[in-house]
Amino acid sequence: MPIDPRLLGRRDFAKLGFGAAALATAATIPGLRHAYAAAMDATSDMNALIAAAKKEGTLNAIALPRDWANYGALMDTFTQKYGIKINDANPDGSSAQEMQAIRSLKGQDRAPDAVDVGPSFTTAGVQKKLFAPYKVATWETIPHNMKSPQGYWVADYFGVVSFAINKSVVKNSPQTWADLKKPEYKGMIALNGSVLGAAAAFSAVFAASLANGGTYDNIDPGIAFFADLAKRGNLNPAAATGPALLVSGQAPIVINWDYLALGYRDAAVGKAVIDVVVPSGAPPYGSYYCQAIPTDAPHPNVARLWQEFLYSDEGQLLFLAGYAHPARYADIAKRNLVPAELQKKLPPAGPYAEVKFATQEQISKAQKEVAAQWPRMVKI
């Protein structure tokens, strides 16, 4: 899910005296469906929410590639579990396009019911009143720095910046950021999209900055690092937004989220040997994506049930099966819910314990700096 430059707390429905049938009926009355969906909270009867969601019958998702963070399995499981159809519009779209869809499709039945956007978009979503606050039943087990206190958005999973390396082409896998400057990697190194429009690419610049004396308040060393890579001829201009260029060897080193790289590794078996390295010698840079429910979601109860599913133990483990580090990982790990076979496939936990997230203000400042300096400094 590429990124560029964030839920209505529900009241206890039982206290209001409404049952599942009443909620489902109310959800069909124009002008009332949002009011009733908004009246739910994490202590409500899930059966009432399920009944109302089934009555609505459809989830309008957007920008969810099936091979991204295991969203294919998540969507399939949700449909099998509740019999609710999912329309996934523009699967390869960006966070910016998701936000635009909220605005441009407002009032239409095909408007998004839920979005999965980068953290920098949450601020604008809240300020412009595009999101309806909502808190799932597992809210208290989600780290405080991964959610809006009011419930306007909540992180669903995070990853760290890594190197994906095609060992069929690259003899020696780079282990550090400094290694990427070696002549042997001439023309080999690509980013996942544009730094001006994709979270993975922008985050690569932030990670390179932390490895070269920068801070969360200063991304300039990262821009300078990539300017140097380009000058050396090591930076490949291709936008490696999927596994094709990596597996084919056209871009044999891709700086990408670890969960994407690990998924590409598994999918490439029999075609290429992919090595995944979280670079050492520098603080890992991690970032999360955020779930939010548009204020005017045409299927508000389905949107809330979708979130309940994503933040349930089942949903969080499905994210983990796709190598995305789920928001509630500490809770599910503490309760020994991670299957042993899955645990064996996961990378060492060390880098994840060291991850610190940039604030939204720091991300916004860094994006403005990259937008101003990258076109001038990085010549490919």
Q: What is the CATH number of the domain that holds 314?
A: 3.40.190.10
Q: How far, in Å, CA of 304 to CA of 12, rounded? A: 14
Residue at 92 is within a domain: yes
Q: Are residues 84 and 58 in the same domain?
A: yes
Q: Are residues 141 and 22 in the same domain?
A: yes
Domain that holds residue 212: 159-285+354-377
Q: What is this structure's pTM?
A: 0.77
Question: What per-residue confidence (pLDDT) applies to 230?
Answer: 98
Q: Are residues 30 and 61 in the same domain?
A: yes
Q: Are residues 55 and 167 in the same domain?
A: no
For residues 100 and 6, the answer to whether their CB atoms sit within 8 Å is no
Question: What per-residue confidence (pLDDT) applies to 302?
Answer: 98
Q: Are residues 109 and 243 in the same domain?
A: no
3-state helix, strand, coil in the chain (%, to 5): 45, 15, 40
Residue at 274 is within a domain: yes
Residue at 199 is within a domain: yes
* Residue 373 CB contacts under 8 Å (≥ 6 apart), including other chains: 220, 223
Q: Are residues 273 and 364 in the same domain?
A: yes
* Residue 322 CB contacts under 8 Å (≥ 6 apart), including other chains: 68, 69, 70, 71, 73, 259, 263
Residue at 201 is within a domain: yes
Residue at 3 is within a domain: no
Q: How far, in Å, CA of 95 to CA of 92, rounded? A: 10
User: Phi first, then psi: what are they for 276, rounded to 5°?
Assistant: -120, 125
Question: What per-residue confidence (pLDDT) applies to 84?
Answer: 98
Residue at 5 is within a domain: no
Residue at 6 is within a domain: no
Question: What per-residue confidence (pLDDT) applies to 15?
Answer: 25
Domain count, the chain: 2
Helix or strand (DSSP H, E) at 227: helix 220-232
Q: Are residues 90 and 237 in the same domain?
A: no
Q: Are residues 153 and 291 in the same domain?
A: yes
Q: Are residues 205 and 148 in the same domain?
A: no
Q: Are residues 315 and 174 in the same domain?
A: no
Residue at 8 is within a domain: no
Q: Are residues 142 and 223 in the same domain?
A: no
Q: Are residues 152 and 232 in the same domain?
A: no
- Could you list the mean pLDDT of each consecutive 10-residue stretch along the chain, which spans 380 residues? 31 26 32 41 75 98 93 98 98 91 97 93 93 97 94 96 97 98 98 89 96 97 98 96 95 96 94 95 92 98 98 97 93 93 81 82 93 96
Question: What per-residue confidence (pLDDT) applies to 242?
Answer: 87
Question: What per-residue confidence (pLDDT) applies to 337?
Answer: 95
Question: What per-residue confidence (pLDDT) applies to 345?
Answer: 84
Question: What per-residue confidence (pLDDT) applies to 45?
Answer: 86
Q: Give the three-state DSSP class for 129.
A: coil
Structure tokens that stand for 168 in this block: 């069929």
CA–CA distances in Å: residue 346 to residues 66, 190, 352: 20, 24, 11
117, β-bridge pairs: 290
